[in-house]
Structure 1
Amino acid sequence: MKNQQVRLLFALDAGGALSGIITAQDLTGSKVLSYIEQGRLSREDVSVKHLMLPISEVQALTLDEVERARIGDVIETLNQSGAAHLVVVDQGVAGVNRIRGIVSASNISRLLHHNYEVISEVGSFASRQWVLKSIQHR
């Protein structure tokens, strides 16, 4: 991740299906320490599958929502969710959601020439889900 200058990767299962996402913060933050401190695993045994956010819990905005949103809406959503990335999806021909892209705080910073960082962190997935839905109603 460091060599490629990315902070989020998609995790695939053994069959090549998308199973979750992992961020640089997941790998270096409190999640790793939590596993070790709780005695669940040794540092050497902690793997991506333990730290990643399962695909069933990944927050996503639709491509249509992103196309209609103002940059301020996206920044507010990032701040309120505590996320540094938002996944963008749409429905393919078969009606299956497909990933169209990722909006990242660091890309916004780079494009706007402004040092922007996610400030707040919301504790529960339910709270974050509300934030994403709120962008639809603006």
Structure 2
Amino acid sequence: MGEYKKLQTVKLDGKYLFCDQFDSQRLELSSCAVKVITDFTRRVPQVVLKDVDIDHALYMMVNGHVRSKLVVDHDDTFLGVINSKDLTGRKVLSVAQQRNQARSDLTVEDLMTQKSDLQAMSYSMVQTAKIGDVIETLKELGHQHVLLVDEEGGLRGMISASDIARSLHIPINILQKAHSFKDIFSIIYAHQEMIA
């Protein structure tokens, strides 16, 4: 099988207790926000090409255990964000109908949130912020995630409500806000889908 080998395992037939966590602190709303970011200097961002069809993109997300990806073109230029909710449900059918296309012909670019519609925070601001500050910002924006930019204007990272909820073991409900008539119709469709 090549350069990798199977590691030895042990049977869990004794009494086991959880280890003491000397180096880790329980995260709270008052913890430093840096502890919940996806930092692109430490972890390669999850990206998808703009022309990938929506079924393949959803398959990649499910098997990669991620809910969103950054959308790029073939030159790795950042174009927007796509999440798994964008790839399923009424939004897909609505876009397909508006464009008079088959659902199977839609690509990530057709459903993504364009970068011009996204918000970002400076990484330096997040370094002094609390997790609770970020949650309030996400609620105010009505977005599930916010991008981080460095001093040179490069994409430095991302913070998502789902990552915070997972880290703090609490539910976080971010209600989508409408900033235009188009947003109002999108929100109505999303709520109708949840009810159905």
**TM-score of Structure 1 vs Structure 2, range by shorter chain:** 0.7 to 0.9
Q: 2:74 matched to 1:14?
A: yes
Instruction: Give the residue type in structure 2 aligned to 1:104.
Output: S
In 2: Cα distance, 1:33 partner to 1:123 partner: 20
Report which of the two has the higher share of strand. 1
Identity, % of aligned positions: 39
- CA contact under 8 A between 2:147 and 2:155: conserved in structure 1? yes
Q: Which residue of 1 aligns with 2:33?
A: none
Q: Which residue of 2 aligns with 1:56?
A: 116
Aligned match for 2:95, one of 9, 28, 35: 35
**Greater radius of gyration (CA):** 2
Q: Which residue of 2 aligns with 1:121?
A: 176
Call closer, same or farther: CA 1:16–1:39 in 2, change over 3 Å: closer
In 2: Cα distance, 1:113 partner to 1:10 partner: 25
* TM-score of the pair, normalised by structure 1: 0.76
Deviations 1:92-138 (A, max 9, x none): 3xxxx1111111111111211212232x111117xxxxxxxxxxxxx
Runs of 5+ unmatched residues, structure 2: 1-60, 181-196
Call closer, same or farther: CA 1:37–1:122 in 2, change over 3 Å: same
What value does the CA root-mean-square deviation take over the aligned residues?
A: 1.8
- CA contact under 8 A between 1:106 and 1:117: conserved in structure 2? no
* TM-score of the pair, normalised by structure 2: 0.56
Instruction: Give the residue type in structure 1 aligned to 2:159.
Output: V
Q: Which residue of 2 aligns with 1:100?
A: 156
Report which of the two has the higher share of helix. 1
Report the 3-state secondary structure (helix = DSSP H, G, I; strand = E; otherwise coil) of the residue aligned with 1:74. helix
Instruction: Give the residue type in structure 2 aligned to 1:72.
Output: G
In 2: Cα distance, 1:105 partner to 1:29 partner: 21
Runs of 5+ unmatched residues, structure 1: 126-138
Call closer, same or farther: CA 1:48–1:79 in 2, change over 3 Å: same
Shift of 1:40: 3.0
Larger RCO (CA within 8 A; separation ≥ 6): 2
Report the 3-state secondary structure (helix = DSSP H, G, I; strand = E; otherwise coil) of the residue aligned with 2:62. coil
In 2: Cα distance, 1:90 partner to 1:21 partner: 18
Call closer, same or farther: CA 1:81–1:106 in 2, change over 3 Å: same
Deviations 1:5-33 (A, max 9, x none): 11111111122222221111111243212
In 2: Cα distance, 1:76 partner to 1:33 partner: 32
In 2: Cα distance, 1:102 partner to 1:61 partner: 9
